[in-house]
Amino acid sequence: MNIRTGVLGASGYGGSELLRLLGAHPSFDLVAASGSTNAGEKVTSLNPALLPRYGEFKLCDSNPSNFKGLDLVFLALPHGLSLELAPILLEDFGVSHVVDLSADFRLKDKDLYKKWYGFEHNQEKWLKTAVYGLPEISREGVKDAQLVAVAGCYVTAAALCLAPLIQGNLIDKAGVIVNGASGVSGAGRKVDSRYLFASLNENYFSYGVSNHRHTPEMEQVIGAQILFTPHLLPINRGILTTCYARPSKEIAVTPEILSNVLLDFYKDEEFVGVVDFPPEIKSTLGSNYCQISATFDERTNYVMAFSVLDNLIKGAAGQAIQCANLVFGLKETLGLSALGIYP
């Protein structure tokens, strides 16, 4: 199958990772990739590692006409830009399917966008039509989607370890605490004094305290009240999430019960693995894999759940391709690897 594919926003970290993965995909044929401020430049000027596959390939501008009639377009743009572009591509330029890596179509309540993202959502039709792109949670819907809203990286990490526990009635839905720590690539390719080497190296700090915009998405997907605090790690990529919740009053929770529920929930999944120890970021580096674990501390009466993933792959580009594989009826694992890089 030869699926004519485009990437809008290929100059960022997520877009660059998409190009890398698409370069090895047997069915998605990249024919156009944009980078507005870098239009006309070779892809390899921004990412020399892509040279073997994209030696002379040049970025175009973000005019939707450059993507007219394509079978598939990935949007790897800052939040707020896909809001207008996705409908234009689908309605006016004959694009068959759009897979959006931004948050513009993730939240089902349009009123939440003003509070958490600072813009009015004016595409109610497509907001209702869009399918949330976290295959392990919403696989069947993704298969029939024209517009896929790919899950956020922090949300993926939290949801994969917490959603089965909520659905299994093992933890209380109120007051769930999610502490996430991400590599600096999660902030995107931009110039900011906080991300300078001298500021970030040998440092570790929280941000977005009590108001991070991934919070309502987490609550929507997990089905619980979430207190989310993100942290920035002095590493390039990867997310480690540590979650705390009170056990259900209806079930006597033990570490074994927690593990068994997770094992049963993910028994047929290629990209989620349950381990019996807190996982490490390097365990999933360079892969589309997520490792999770859970245990119960009887002394403090807290359930603890952990997850790790590569924020640029299972948290972004890899997950987008996983969703696109489903949309086109391909094997879900096509072009993706569950094997990481170590050390």
290 counts as catalytic: no
Which pair of structure tokens corresponds to residue 188? Answer: 């995107």
Instruction: State how far the alpha carbon of 33 is from the alpha carbons of 8, 39, 67, in Å.
Output: 6, 9, 9
Which pair of structure tokens corresponds to residue 326? Answer: 């489903």
Which pair of structure tokens corresponds to residue 168? Answer: 């299994």
Find tokens 């589309």 and name the residue.
288
E strand map for 188-269: 205-206, 226-232, 239-245
CB 75 within 8 A of CB 17: no
Which pair of structure tokens corresponds to residue 117? Answer: 């993202």
C-alpha 282 chain-centroid distance: 18
What size, in residues, is the chain?
343
Distance CA 279, CA 237 (A): 15
SS3 of residue 281 by DSSP: helix
E strand or H helix that includes residue 31: strand 28-34
Task: Catalytic residue, from 153, 161, 243, 290: name it.
Answer: 153
Nearest to 313 by CA among 97, 75, 18, 47: 18
DSSP state of 316: I
Q: Which string of DSSP letters, residue by residue, matches 205-228?
A: EE-STTT-TTHHHHHHHHTS-EEE
Find tokens 């807190």 and name the residue.
278
Nearest to 88 by CA among 143, 126, 137: 126
DSSP state of 108: S
CB 228 within 8 A of CB 212: yes
Burial of 315 (0-12, 13-18, 19+ CB in 10 A): buried
As annotated, the active-site residues are 153
